[in-house]
Structures are given as C-alpha cells and as structure tokens.
Structure 1
C-alpha cells in the first residue's frame, strides 16, 4: 500500500500502524510496558529532553504504544498533533490545568456531562470565572464573552439531553474574537463529525466511549486541529515559545497537563483502544441506525412523555444536526409519563443493561437524576432540562428487532 494515498476513514485507521513500520512485521503496534528509555549517547538523551529531536523520555509522557494511538486519533480528527490521557476527564482537566490562570473567564455550554460540570465548579474555586449559557444559540455565547474570556467550551451533542450546540456559528464568533474554541466530540466521534470543520482549535474525545467501543479500557485524547493561532493566547509561558507558534499549545499542555498533572494513559489500555478504533465507523453506523429506530418507536408510544434524539424531526436542533453530522449518534434519552416507575421499567429490560458507560457494543441504560446527575441537585438538573424520570440510553449493536422488542415489552409490563 502507498501511504501517501488518501484512503477512506476505516482503511486509514485499519492500516495505520502497519504503514508506519512495526517490529517483526506485526499488524498491531505491540504493547510497550517499559517506563524508561535508554540512549547509547547521553547527548542524545539531553537533546530529546530539550525537545531538539524526537524520542521518548519517560512513560508518564508517552511511549511507542501510546504514540501509535495518538497518531490514529490525530488522523481521525485531521489534526496537527494529539495527546492521550488516562481518561477523557484527564484530557479535559489537563487543558484547564495548563492553559487557564486565576482571573481568566470561560464561557461553557450549560448542557454538560456531569463530571465536566463538577470540574468547572472546582475550576471556579481556583479563581477562574465560568459562565454557563444555552449554547444552542450563538447569541448567548456572544453575550457572555468578556475581555478576560480565554476559552469557549461546548459538547457536540450534550449528554444526556442531546442538545446540540450552534457549533458553526460559535466557531465563527471565536475566530473573530481570537478566543480558543474547545469542542468535546465524544458523542459524535470523528467519524460522524470533525470539529475542525467549524473552527475548533482543540478537540477532546473520551476514548473510553465509542472510539474504544468495547467497554474494556479507559482513555482520553486532545487534538490540536491547527486552526487556532496560539500567538493570540496570552497564557503561554516563555519557555514553550521556542518553537513555531503552531506548537506552543500542545507543548505547554504536554508539560503542564500531562507531565505535571500525571493523567497518563497506560500502554495496555492504549492497545485495547487502538484495536477497538478499527471498527469505529462500522459500529457508529449500526448504533446510529438502531438509535434512530428506537427513538422513533419510543416517540410513538403513549406511555412515553418525551424523547430526546437529534435524529427526530421533533428535536429542536434536528436541522443543525442534519447539516453537520454524518448521522445522529448512539445516545438518546426519554421520559416516562407520570405514574410509570422508571426503576420498575428498567428492571423489566432483558437486553439493555443498567450501567453508566456510553458507546459500548451493548445497549446500556441509566436513570439520570438518581445516579450520574444526582450530586448536582434538583435545581441544577432542572436548569439543564433533566426530568426526574429521564432515562439515558447508549444504544448498542444488537439486532434492531431484538432491541425494539425489549423496550416494547418493558413498556407493556411483561
């Protein structure tokens, strides 16, 4: 194969390791467990530490197995560089730990993953102001921006209520103002959507979810798309300005967020995720198709009060989703009508499993208000549109008829 040819998404990921050359002709990059890397020439070791030439320093900052995964994710997102972390939250936390300072201001979507919301509360306690806005309308983001705004942060499809941010217009606004635009692409994945196309400077993926896809490894990634001009960012330390400005952001995040923060991805997990990623496109097509069918069935059932899925024409951001996304993803949520106990309903399901992960091959369900969003309290849940009966569904790759029958039977009480 010619590695200069522009192959399709799956072909590129499937053959990426092999085309870069692997020890002993292996088809997968092997698991490198060593945390230290020796050099025959001590001067070369110093040169690697000083960033004058490529090489591995210490396992906390990466190794060949992790580097191979970073290259795969980078190709998925069409970035200029990618760093991997122990979890998706590790990636998000490292960005804010390394790029924000006391007195800075962030504009964030109000519709957030529960742990990201919790992280923002911690960040606020450290002197960074955060404004939570309804990011489905760019006007709300624009109104919240101040002279101290350093970052605008949104998710593509919000977990769990599936609100879709006004992604393209927010990107245009950030480019006009010189503000770093960060997009969490976990719910769409780079197969369904590339945030680079709407001006995102940094893209986050929780690799634990659909990219790894099998619920057997934790991981997260951060990709610099090359869109943002780092010479406009005021918080870059002088010692990371030695290279070209395009490299400043990742250099500082690697040092301050990965080396110092320590949220390092394990090589075994990197290997699991890299192998899982090979079938991302196939799984996203199946789970998206299943999710659309299930959402349609639930919407038509008189015992269901509301269904939240961007693929439904009734969804407020259906038009934006259709314009931007290849399909609508595997995440949906729905509310049962008064008088139907959500726990009893969940306990009647035979295939769908009560569990907290997303993007697995199996369909997973969870009562949101009582579990992953319980800690934030009823008032904050209400502000995010999370009803007490809301059930989140991460749709898997089961045969569609079996999946629909399972939910129909549970609604019937059988």
Structure 2
C-alpha cells in the first residue's frame, strides 16, 4: 500500500545585517525574499532578527549581543535552523555553529538546497552537486560535516588520517569526477545548439528574475507542460519548444532558470552551459513581475547577469507580466516593452503578435524571382522564411516572391540563387 509522504516544515529563524549601502526598503525586500526562499525549501519562519551595522562582524557576522539574543530566540521558538541573508565565511560559520544550538546556514546554502530539490535532469543534478561540494569544501570543518560516502579503496586512508581529511579527499575526488561528467554533457549541449543553428531556426529565450512568470508564458505560448508554481526556482532545467508565430513562421522558444540577486558564484559557474541557452538566442524576452515592488532592481540584476554572460548585445523585448495586479504606468527605460498578464488569452495573443514584429526586425527583406521549374526553392522559402507574397508573372514566366529571411539565409537566397 502506498503511503503519502508527509513533509514537516522545519522551524527557522532568519538573520539579516543591513549595511549602509542598502536602503531600508531594499533591505526589507531582501528579507522578504529570504523568507520566500525558506518557504520554497520547506521551512517555516518562526522569527526574524536584524541589525544595522557599518560593516560585517568578522568573527560572527552580527555583533556579540545579537548572537546572544539569537541564542535566546532559538530556545524560545525551538528553531532547528538559522538562516543568514548573506554568505558566511568559513570562520564565521564555524564560530556561529559553536555558539548556537541550531544548524547554521547562509543564503547561498539555502539556494543550493532548493536547486538540489528541483533538479530533474542528469545535467542539472550534476551541476547542483558540483556547486554544493565546491561551497562545502572550505567550510567542512566549520559545520562538523560527516560524509556517509567515503573514498574507498586500498591505501586511501593511511594511519592517523582524520575523518575531516578523509572527507576533504572524497570531496576533491568527487569534484574532479563531476567536472569530467559535466564536460561530456556540456559538449552534448553544444552539439545540440550547433545542430539547431544548422537547421537555421531562429531562437528566442525567456529570461527573468525567479518567479516572474516565465514558465507560465512558455506553457501558454507553446501549449507545453513545463513545471510552473508560485515559488522561487520552479524551473531549473531549460526546456525548448517550437512556437508558431501568427504569420506561420516557426521559432524555438526556450524557458531558462530564473535569476536572483546574489546568485551563488558556484552556481553561476556550474550552470554556465545551461545559462548559455540565453547567449545563443537571436532575441531575448525579459519577463518582469510588474506587480513586485522591487521590480526595478530585479531588472537591473537580470541585465547585469546577461552582461556577465556576454549576452548584452542580443536584442531584448521586456515583458511586464502580472499586469492584472500592477500599476498600469509601470515601464522600463532600457528596452522595447510590452505589458501583459499571462493568464489572459488576449494578452498572450498581443505578445505573440509583438514577438512576430520583433522577430521580423532580426530578418532581412527580400524580393526575388523563382522560375517555374524551381519548386524546391519555393518549398524552401515556404519553410524557412516569412513569405509575404508569391505571385505568378505570366509575362516573365516566373514567380515573384517577397518576404523576410533570417540574416544567415539572406545571402544564400538573394546572392547564391542569383536572382533579383
């Protein structure tokens, strides 16, 4: 008999340290995001503790008095985990773990945990494990970590080698192994992308801050079943589907992993091949949650990550989503934009129409003649271009064809076919 798995939410206390560079509003949004991340990971927030400081305390992140206050709050709330809203250094983690009667993790560890829960593909699982081990290695002593899987084999544990040294040996060996496995999957992904390029299909990538509604838009436009949920990082593994534009032209639409502020550097490195789906696109749809109070900062973070990925040269259409809950005057001063609500069919139609217009901007207009016996060329134009007109000219005994072609096909159609 199948029994339902019952998951008990883990009681957590959130800790934030507001430095002078952050406004009260920015800090509040950051703490709200930490609470949302905690909920996504399966925790329940039992308390929050914050402190304003000029600089982070080098030994314990927050001041000594706050550490004592935190210890009392842990006892009062019977919390089993404490989550800091910034990345802790190995020494800070070690010191806090010694002083507090609860497991101590930071924002980076929390995000890594969510990624570990959400990864579905083999590549995604390898990427998450690699990022976790790279994060864990310098912090191993601080957490008193004990690994159940050890590097076995004769001669791997010499006389007097400590458990900590054995764990470090295992992690280093596992990191080397994971990198080798990922090299193979990265090559496979590169071959897949190259094949798509050879097939001469225009590619559109959905990017945006996590929980902006990318997967909902992806599913509605492509009639797909990509996982969507009102939680952070609902999508980890990129999914690509064919999308037919109103004029009949097909493009490939890719749903990508959501971005977030302070995305762990180990994750960015590990997910580089996945994030590169955006860098290979001909057009980027940048989805923004228009109803989110910190939407301007979300846009800034995504654009910075695109710049870091060397994708800032790609044309961007900003899609303000969730307009049913937002201020109608919301806008961006950076890129072309459209305002929609993904739950409205009329808005999705408007988005598809606008997407078609933006795709045409990436194409070249052509007007050529096709002889009556060149049916293969007519079929090629029908399949690979936006053919606006195909008119038979009885006097010249040929078809006059007009339309738009992807830039990489234009030279073949206009010059190589030697028609005017």
TM-score range for the pair, normalised by the shorter chain length = under 0.3
| Greater C-alpha radius of gyration | 2
Greater fraction strand: 2
| Structure with larger RCO (C-alpha < 8 A, sep 6+) | 1
Q: TM-score, normalising length from structure 1?
A: 0.28
